[in-house]
Amino acid sequence: MDMLIAPRSTLHALQPIGQGTGQVESLTSYFCRLAHSHGMKARDLAAWTLQHFGEPIPDDYKWYRRAFAGASQESEQWSSWIAALTGIGGLDRLTLAPWRHLVSNCSLTSRIDRWCPLCLRDDKAANQPLYLRLSWDIASVTACTRHKINLASTCPHCEKSNVRHRASAVIPGYCTACGGFLGDQTTRLAEPAAIWQARSIEQMVGRPPEVDANRVLALLETLVERMAHGRITTFAETVGLSKSGVWHWFNKGGIPTLQAWLAISLCGGRGLDRLFVGDLENWVLPEIDHQLSIPLEISPRKGIRARFLDWSAIRAKLRQLLEAPEAISLAQVSKELELDQKQLYQNANAEVRAIVSRYQGHRAGSRKNKMQRLQDQVTELLQERWGAGYSGMSARDIWPLLDQDLKAIRHSFRHIEVAIAANDS
Ligand SMILES: [Zn+2]
Ligand SMILES: [Zn+2]
């Protein structure tokens, strides 16, 4: 009788952490933990692996120069070598290699090592192995979606950067220069757009793509068809990309960068995870605001901005207003500075939120009436929406989201419309 016997693996069959979720471990992290579980240095394990597969080892061999977690062929090669040695399958999903045919490698991974200190602290508190998330290596991810803070890149103890895994021996979560715990710090609150972007990418890494290399062009064609009636120029304008860039996909075999995919996802109102499995069923385009809050490649054809705004000066002014004895509303601020509230939200988010929350506190103390709460809730809902890069919402969209007693106000739709108009002015 034929029996399939699982062969003993050469290396410890260590389980990767977070597979199939947005918190999936990176191959770099897995490799470091694997080496550690064998009482080996990461460098020695890498050299041994190369030797095992008959590859040359340079004299000044630095294992971490290898692109472990990226979308290169090398990432794919290493994941299959390590899979062969450990008997653990699917290790390519700890890298970006499965997305190689969909996402351009250009500026895909971060040059600087980053991490969320609070995630490391949570791992430690839960007595779980500390590990590095794949998303932290992706350049477009700058924030942690769980803790809503920016990722860190310098050691809180010695203040050095690139100390996460660039050494011969590595213990994930500890500085390679001074040995200090990398979770001993906190960073600034992240902007809503950065959280949206990080969440989109987490959804992407949690689900392997199903659109294969032969269907990428068809997917792009469908998107241009549905979002711009097949017109490349309109599509490029809609998503804020250069026309030549989009043309390149269709005529020269180019593929979009991750930032371009994010712009498409934002404008199309469809998550990257769903785009990459080709799920375009029941897809309704949202109302689109052309002023995106995520940074895109600058198009050389783009005209000069009509008005130059010095945002560091504006933010300083906003901080001054925060110190003023009277709490001031965002509508007043917007009027005084002659700036759109959406613009303020997108460029001076932390200051604006502080102004809004101070004003709301002030209102709650002085006049607790329903109409004011209605106004505040409408404002808050609109601002969340703008923060994510969208345009406004209708009274019909807002009504179900209000507090129960506010929904019951007579002529509530009319009052919501008034509140929307006040925000638009
Ligand atoms: Zn975190
Ligand atoms: Zn350090």
d(CA 289, CA 239): 10
Instruction: Please give the distance, rounded to the nearest whole angstrom, from the Cα atom of residue 137 to the centre of ligand 1.
Output: 14
Residue linked to tokens 């008034």 = 418
Nearest-ligand number for the alpha carbon of 133: 1
Token pair belonging to 290: 């052309």
For ligand 2, an ion, list residues with CB under 5 A: 155, 157-158, 175, 177-178, 180
Which ligand is located closest to the Cα atom of residue 159? 2
Q: How far apart are CA 136 and CA 318, in angstroms?
A: 32
* pLDDT tens for each residue of 346-398: 788 888 888 888 887 776 665 567 888 888 889 888 887 887 777 778 888 88
HSE, CB side, 13 Å, CA atoms: give it for residue 244: 6
Distance separating alpha carbons of residues 287 and 219, to the nearest angstrom: 21
Q: Helix 42-52 crosses helix 73-86 at what angle (to 10 degrees)? A: 90
pLDDT of residue 276: 95
- The per-residue pLDDT for 305 is 39
Residue 70 CA, ligand 1 centroid: distance in Å: 21
Closest ligand (CA of 115): 1
- Contact between 415 and 409 (Cβ < 8 Å): yes
**Token couple for 236:** 């490029």
Query: What per-residue confidence (pLDDT) applies to 308?
Result: 62
Nearest ligand (C-alpha, residue 154): 2
Sequence spans of domains, the chain: 13-197, 209-275, 311-424
> What is d(CA 190, CA 340) in angstroms, rounded to the nearest whole number?
21
Instruction: Identify the pLDDT of residue 367.
Output: 53
Can you list the residues of the chain whose pLDDT is less than 50?
A: 1-6, 290-292, 297-306
How far apart (Å, rounded) are the C-alpha atoms in residues 359 and 268? 35
The ligand that comes nearest to the alpha carbon of residue 163 is 2
pTM of the shown model? 0.67
Burial 69-96 (b: 16+ CB within 10 A, else e): bbbbeebbbbbebbbbbbebeebbbbbb
DSSP state of 200: H
Please state, in angstroms and rounded to a whole number, the distance separating the CA atoms of residues 412 and 425.
Answer: 20
Pick the CATH number of 209-275 from 1.10.3470, 1.10.150, 3.30.70, 1.10.260: 1.10.260
Give Cβ neighbours of residue 141 (< 8 Å, ≥ 6 apart): 110, 135, 151, 197, 198, 201, 202
CA distances to 37, 151, 188, 267, 296 from 342, rounded to whole Å, are 51, 25, 21, 17, 18
Which uninterrupted H or E stretch holds 149? strand 149-150
Tell me the C-alpha distance between 296 and 258, whole Å: 10
